[in-house]
A and B are shown apart, each in its own frame.
Chain A
């Protein structure tokens, strides 16, 4: 029998995870004792403090040292890639606090809502640091389960429940595929740690490895909502409470894509010629499916869901390039994209509360002039999603295209350009509805909701990040470079 030796734990490295987790426990317990009236404010305050604290902790870790190291037998990594992704997740969470503060469903289950939001962010913070297949699977399930419940948290609304059930079933299907793929990779290489997988790749059974890699990619594709694994996205985005949708669109993408990058680059550098091509195919499928389906959407949330599928394509493009430029492109793109996703869904949430009905392109009519700031911000987000300045996605797309061109895949950049042109039509449709349609086209509004300064502040913060990421491109790209430069990129 081995002598048991307790592992040494680098508590500092875990602090972003632990801070949010502790916040969740506090909110959960306090909501048992606090009167219902103050639960919402208390929970929101704790959530905001924890998100800020966790982000600060991640930033401190990022600044503290540039070398990465493993935590508890290399189960997770403390490195700048994880820390930057954690900052993004926490930022999305913080914005979501502002957006969801006045969401009607929050009143009843305020405590649980904030606790689940914090736990989901905590799980993502863990997931992005995952360094073996087991922590990857567990981190994925951790935040996914939180999101299933958050989707269905409005338990009196059938659409929300059905969306939650659908998300759970499709999500678990993806996880099961991921699990089986992990098992095959484990069998082929005899290891679950990413570095050991890379080391064991040479002598492993290649067929197992390839099959396992394919299944792992499929599983992650489900989370990133890349076509053809996207079928849950529109229904879930539509059914979930709008602030939750914004959080999912932003934070889940950050987590899934960062982990995809880390896994492929650190664990499968030897299979580069396989996964880059596979990803290129997924990119094309996502761009085509997302953009073409978005053209015919009436519901704004569904349209944004398809737009998020197409952005999954744009975000996977730099990973497919497999070079360091691509890594930088991915992280820079994610900074702008995550802020803008939360902001766009926040504006949808406002209109939804005004109308007490699902927001369609038609009933946005006149919104831009009624609420100039929110309308203008939404216009900025829509132009930004197309890839027009002055939003940072513009540079993100330039970087993504540059990464694939540097790899020699100019055709992929052209595919991206063509589908960007397609996407103009539906994004501009929103702007047209908000500013160019007479107000009478909209359904009579159900009374003006109270002014929601927190939500407006969140939208303003999204705008600042969206525009600021373009102006301050150099420091942000330096940060992105710091975050990825230690990864052993297989190309160039």
Chain B
């Protein structure tokens, strides 16, 4: 019964994940895309729970859905009609690159499925209660991965400074603006 429930949750989460992912990419209105991203992140959080990564799942919901997506929504609202301005600055040679990427990824899917048929990937380690718990994560962060932890704070600080600089981009008077 429990097995069935887990399967059910997984199937629902997986379908939601794929559907919302596609929605993010396909919606022409960035506002809907950002909303779809919330669904995407939420279904990811569910999957993380199934993988016994409770702390990551919690962080996912708080950081992403709570902060990042909200930021996206603010910006989209701020820009209004300008938000979906097409932009020629993206990666070039899209068609070729897309085909190559799709091909490479298709190969990988086949690989994964093949491995699964091989039964090699269906096993998982036995993990104790503590696996994925805040205590374990905290312990790792402050011992083995202390440097990574510190670096994340630097990355955030730089992003904050960058945000301040970019936010200061006030339209300037013409005579000074033309350099």
A interface residues, Cβ below 8 angstroms from B: 1-2, 4-7, 9, 21, 28, 71-73, 75-76, 104, 109, 112, 115-116, 119, 122-123, 126, 134-135, 138-139, 141-142, 145-146, 148-149, 152-153, 155-157, 161-162, 165-166, 169-170, 173, 205, 207-208, 211, 231-232, 235, 356
Contacts and interface: CB of A to CB of B under 8 A. Distances in A.
B106 interface: no
Nearest to B168: A155
B89 A153 contact: no
Pick the most buried of B139, B158, B161: most chain A CB atoms within 10 A of its CB: B158
Interface of B: 87, 89-93, 107-108, 111, 114-115, 120-121, 130, 135, 139, 142-148, 151-152, 154-155, 158-159, 161-162, 164-166, 168-169, 172, 177, 179
A155 B169 contact: yes
A117 B111 CA distance: 43
B179 A75 contact: no
The 10 A-B residue pairs with the shortest CB-CB distance in the complex, in nearest-first order: A155-B169, A149-B162, A73-B144, A138-B151, A166-B89, A75-B147, A207-B111, A231-B92, A72-B147, A145-B158
A72 B120 contact: no
A145 B162 contact: yes
A174 B50 CA distance: 29
B169 A161 contact: yes
A208 B147 contact: no
A72 B179 CA distance: 49
Given A155-B165, A207-B114, 4 more contacts: A72-B144, A134-B145, A152-B165, A356-B179
Nearest to A4: B139
Given A145-B155, A170-B91, A1 B130 contact: yes
A25 B120 CA distance: 50
Contacts, number: 110
Nearest to A76: B147
Contacts of B89: 162, 165-166, 169, 235
Contact of A21 (B120, B139, B154): B154
Nearest to A104: B179
Contact of A145 (B91, B147, B148, B159): B159
Contacts of B161: 28, 112, 115-116, 149
Contacts of A116: 158, 161-162
A201 B83 CA distance: 47
A139 to B, nearest CB: 7
A126 B177 CA distance: 38
Contacts of A162: 89
Nearest to A75: B147
Given A4-B139, A231-B91, A235-B89, A149 B158 contact: yes
Contact of A149 (B111, B142, B166, B177): B166
Contacts of B130: 1
B139 A7 contact: no
30 contacts: A4-B143, A6-B142, A9-B146, A73-B143, A73-B144, A75-B145, A75-B146, A75-B148, A109-B165, A119-B154, A138-B148, A138-B152, A138-B155, A139-B151, A142-B154, A142-B158, A145-B159, A149-B158, A149-B161, A152-B165, A156-B169, A156-B177, A156-B179, A165-B87, A166-B89, A207-B114, A211-B107, A231-B91, A231-B92, A235-B89
A123 B151 CA distance: 9
A380 to B, nearest CB: 30
A356 B178 CA distance: 10
A28 B155 CA distance: 15
A169 B89 CA distance: 9
Given A4-B142, A75-B147, A153 B165 contact: yes
Nearest to B172: A156
Nearest to A162: B89
Contacts of B145: 73, 75, 134
Contacts of B92: 231
Contacts of B90: 166, 169
A269 B151 CA distance: 28
A119 B155 CA distance: 10
Contacts of B159: 145
B9 to A, nearest CB: 23
Pick the most buried of B89, B152, B159, B179: most chain A CB atoms within 10 A of its CB: B89
B106 to A, nearest CB: 12
A301 B135 CA distance: 52
Contact of A208 (B111, B148, B155): B111
Nearest to A148: B162
A9 B143 CA distance: 10
Contacts of B177: 156
A6 B138 CA distance: 12
Pick the most buried of B92, B108, B172: most chain A CB atoms within 10 A of its CB: B108
A12 to B, nearest CB: 15
A157 B165 contact: no
Given A1-B130, A161-B169, A205 B115 contact: yes
B93 A231 contact: yes
B62 to A, nearest CB: 21
Contacts of B148: 75, 134-135, 138
A122 B139 CA distance: 26
Contact of A75 (B93, B121, B144, B158): B144
A5 B143 contact: yes
Contacts of B91: 169-170, 173, 231-232
A364 B145 CA distance: 51
A205 B115 CA distance: 9
Contact of A7 (B87, B108, B146, B158): B146
B116 to A, nearest CB: 11
B105 to A, nearest CB: 10
Contacts of A156: 169, 172, 177, 179
Given A231-B92, A356-B179, A149 B151 contact: no
Contacts of B151: 126, 135, 138-139, 142
Nearest to A71: B147
